[in-house]
């Protein structure tokens, strides 16, 4: 296998072996995820658009490629890094291996990297840009500056649906408008399984277009990038909030709802990514283990009057969920659809259903 390097914007580099697409180089934001399983859901999560994903768990690919577990039609990540990928996956549902999967989709990957050292570096210095390249060191200051200057331009528009899509259950009880900023497939499935006909709207939709569908509830999906870059969406969302329709936001949707109500967001040092993030419900004191994938957070002390923090991260105390007292709405930073991850928080979909019922 050919030698390939990960070069970070601070000049540190890691040597490994190339697999996947034989591209000469690719640049992206380097992030790590701590999930011990669910790599297929991670790879196909649209929220990783433009990012080079590092798996901290050492062996990846042991159950192969299973399309039924994809969270989107195609992966959007820029690159993938593992300690070791399994050449001979074993699972009765397996339909291929990761090397072929990445080759077919033009995504470069790197194995043989000391992912523990790489993760410690990202934790110490924070998330940073990096480049997968076959060029051996040393690297010039000009090359490092190119890596530092890299930005993903409007990633939400790269991952949203192009036009409206409808998913219908066998028995329709509620009409839900899903504003798709890069929605994971299982969000739709959780709603459909509860009797919701889900109409997915592109990120470019206006408040008037969504309201014209006369939804019983509005779901704001997860998605990639800096929430503050979506000024048009935030403006339209502020109009939706005035309609007093039950609303549920997840991850990016949680952040956008807060911004639409006048709160602020800020970037975390290295984010929360993985299927094992503890969250405390301040209403009950109960701890939930959750799946998360985000690099930004809502600033708790910036919430508008009538809004309150309901969930916090049990590790660092950051905001993980908000309840709004002046409208039928709530939001969470984590992923209650649990793909990948534990099922602890799936009851939040039932809370949304009850809100629509009332």
The catalytically annotated residue of 121, 251, 319, 339 is: 251
Asked whether 176 and 253 are in contact (CB, 8 A), the reply is: no
**Whether residue 337 lies in the annotated active site:** yes
**Whether residue 294 lies in the annotated active site:** no
Asked whether 45 and 155 are in contact (CB, 8 A), the reply is: no
What residues contact 149, with CB distance under 8 A and at least 6 apart? none
Asked whether 255 and 332 are in contact (CB, 8 A), the reply is: no
The catalytically annotated residue of 29, 236, 280, 337 is: 337
Cα–Cα distance measured from residue 15 to residue 111, given in angstroms and rounded to the nearest whole number: 9
**Across the strands, what pairs with 281?**
311
**Whether residue 251 lies in the annotated active site:** yes
Asked whether 242 and 207 are in contact (CB, 8 A), the reply is: no
The catalytically annotated residue of 197, 254, 335, 339 is: 335
**Across the strands, what pairs with 167?**
198
Asked whether 201 and 179 are in contact (CB, 8 A), the reply is: yes
> Could you list the active site residues?
251, 335, 337
């Amino acid at each position: 296998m050919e030698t390939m390097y990960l070069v970070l914007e601070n000049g540190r580099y890691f040597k490994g072996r190339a697999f996947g697409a034989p591209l000469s180089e690719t640049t992206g934001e380097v992030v790590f995820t701590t999930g011990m399983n669910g790599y297929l859901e991670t790879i196909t999560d649209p929220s990783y658009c433009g990012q080079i994903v590092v798996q901290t768990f050492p062996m990846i690919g042991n159950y192969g490629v299973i399309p039924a577990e994809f969270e989107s039609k195609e992966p959007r990540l820029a690159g993938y890094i593992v300690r070791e990928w399994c050449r001979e996956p074993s699972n009765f549902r397996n339909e291929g291996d990761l090397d072929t999967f990445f080759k077919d989709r033009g995504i470069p990957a790197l194995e043989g990297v000391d992912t523990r050292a790489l993760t410690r570096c990202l934790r110490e210095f924070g998330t940073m840009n990096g480049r997968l390249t076959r060029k051996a060191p040393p690297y010039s200051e000009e090359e490092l500056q190119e890596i530092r200057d890299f930005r993903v331009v409007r990633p939400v528009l790269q991952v949203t649906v192009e036009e409206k899509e409808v998913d219908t259950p066998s028995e329709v009880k509620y009409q839900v408008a899903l504003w798709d900023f890069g929605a994971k497939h299982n969000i739709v499935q959780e709603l459909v399984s509860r009797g919701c006909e889900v109409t997915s709207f592109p990120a470019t939709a206006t408040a008037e277009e969504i309201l014209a569908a006369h939804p019983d509830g509005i779901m704001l999906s997860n998605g990639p990038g800096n929430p503050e870059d979506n000024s048009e969406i935030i403006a339209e969302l502020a109009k939706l909030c005035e309609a007093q329709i039950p609303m549920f936001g997840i991850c990016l949707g949680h952040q956008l709802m807060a911004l639409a109500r006048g709160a602020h967001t800020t970037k975390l040092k290295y984010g929360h990514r993985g299927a094992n993030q503890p969250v405390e419900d301040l209403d009950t004191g109960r701890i939930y283990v959750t799946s998360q994938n985000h690099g930004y957070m809502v600033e708790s002390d910036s919430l508008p009057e009538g809004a309150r923090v309901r969930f916090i991260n049990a590790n660092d105390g950051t905001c993980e969920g908000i309840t709004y007292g002046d409208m039928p709405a709530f939001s969470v930073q984590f992923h209650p659809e649990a793909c990948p991850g534990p099922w602890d928080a799936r009851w939040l979909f039932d809370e949304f259903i009850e809100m629509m019922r009332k």
